[in-house]
Amino acid sequence: MAKHLLKKLFPGYHAVREHKSLRFFGTLLHDPNLWHLNRRSAAGAFAVGLFFAFQPVPFQMLFSSAVAIMARVNLPISVILVWITNPLTMGPIYFACYKLGERLLGTRHGPFHFEPSLSWITTEMLTIWKPFLLGCFVTSIVTAIVGYLGIHLLWRLHIVRRLSERRRRSRNA
């Protein structure tokens, strides 16, 4: 059921691969594995999308797309998951990553006073870059692994449930 819902929500692969802004990928988008929705492609797409969602780099969708194409996993899922970090969630997520990195390194920066200015970002980033990047990397790795294993497990549970329902119906018929 979830597979059918996702297929309805996503645009058709013909529409996406012919989109004018994606033409620079050329024939790479013609690979049917990028558009199939099966356990392998969905789990891989979750891993790719979640990994890049927590990376503090610009053009996360481009990196996620490139890795999804190279890994031949579902492209729409991997790109959509990058939007976990959006302008509304970016601040709290990256602050939590920074705090995780601080805890892992055993450092303490002191009081945190935010100012929305370029000078604040450049001066503060010089002192907080190590815990921030470590926290982002650890969060990326952990969420990618949990997403990959979680999708495999949920997919398997769904199949087992469908098979048991089918067996139950055949016995009752």
pLDDT of residue 138: 96
- Integer Cα distance of 47 and 147 in angstroms: 6
pLDDT of residue 5: 60
Q: pLDDT tens, 56-101?
A: 988 888 899 899 999 999 988 998 999 999 889 988 999 899 999 9
pLDDT of residue 16: 60
pLDDT of residue 147: 96
pLDDT of residue 136: 96
The domain total for the chain is 1
pLDDT of residue 2: 59
What is the residue range of 131's domain? Answer: 2-172
pLDDT of residue 101: 93
- Claim: this prediction has a pTM higher than 0.75: yes
Reference 82, options 46, 38, 136; nearest CA is 46
pLDDT of residue 91: 86
Q: Residue ranges of the chain with pLDDT lower than 50?
A: 1
